[in-house]
Amino acid sequence: MIPDSTVEDWLQEDLGHHDVTNEVPGETTGRLVAREPGIVAGLDVACAVFEYLDVTAERAAEAGDRVESGGTVLRVAGPAREVLRGERVAVNLAGHASGVATKTRRAVEAAREVDDGVAIAATRKTTPGLRGVEKRAVVAGGGDTHRLDLSHMVMVKENHVAEMGLEGAVEHFRERASFATKIEVEVERPEDAPRAADAGADIVLLDNMRPDETAEAVAKLRERDDDTLAEASGGITVADVPDYAATGVDVISLGSLTHSADTLDYSFRTG
């Protein structure tokens, strides 16, 4: 559910204080049409924009559907003035979300060519104010949201280790976190992976390691036990995914799914 105040902010940013461009009389209809193939996402927020303006919006596709060039994903009907006022905001949001979903689906498919079990996840590298939109788009593409915010999981990063040491940092946060909160520890060397697991990590983040280093770290973890999850992250591209999927990791996370996905090209046509 998108709060009305959020939609109002989006619209106000686009309309400004004296909109005359959209002062068009009468009623009209409109369609949101894909100009290239991709994965649909963001129609929930596009509909919220139009419905806030008392424009009827009907989805012609669902999140996660594949749309071909020329395919209609949303239809609207209502006062021409309000349809045109909502058009650009709705197109921008749906285009951005669908771009995230499309890139995520490419990453998922690349991983599946090697290992059906490895998960593709996003990160917290999201656009301020649009995290919910982007995380839902990742799910539409077949990916995992990872933690939605800092409260969802404790991540012990290099700065924490520098301040308290690896074991000290894990103990520090374990004492403060709920029993239901998982702890993930970031390591940058293969030999530190089992050390993090021994310290109590539920998940070990193998950060900025090459695929061969990642495979070595996973092997060291598996020698210890089979319970601790291994996540590869750090500068991984969609093209790199197959190499990392072959290392035996459980999760591959890519910040680029949200921070640098291309927008899916949509066109809004009235009448």
CB atoms under 10 Å from CB of 178, counted, come to: 8
Q: Active site includes 157? A: yes
Of the candidates 125, 147, 174, 182, the residue annotated as catalytic is 125
Pick the catalytic residue: 31, 59, 66, 88? 88
**Burial letters 187-205, b for 16+ CB under 10 A, else e:** beebebbbbbbebebbbbb
Which residue in this structure is represented by tokens 């909160």? Answer: 181
Catalytic residue among 19, 27, 58, 157: 157
> Quick one: three-class SS letters along the chain?
CCCHHHHHHHHHHHHCCCCCCCCCCCEEEEEEEECCCEECCCHHHHHHHHHHCCCEEEECCCCCCEECCCCEEEEEEEEHHHHHHHHHHHHHHHHHHHHHHHHHHHHHHHHHCCCCCCEEECCCCCCCCCHHHHHHHHHHCCCECCCCCHHHCEEECHHHHHHHCHHHHHHHHHHHCCCCCCEEEEECCCCHHHHHHHHCCCEEEEECCCHHHHHHHHHHHHHHCCCCEEEEECCCCHHHHHHHHCCCCCEEECCHHHHCCCCCCEEEEEC
Catalytic residue flag (residue 135)? no
**Does the annotation count 182 as an active-site position?**
no
Catalytically annotated residue among 186, 192, 216, 250: 186
Catalytic residue among 207, 231, 243, 250: 207
Closest CA to 257 of 92, 149, 134: 134
Catalytic site positions: 88, 125, 157, 186, 207
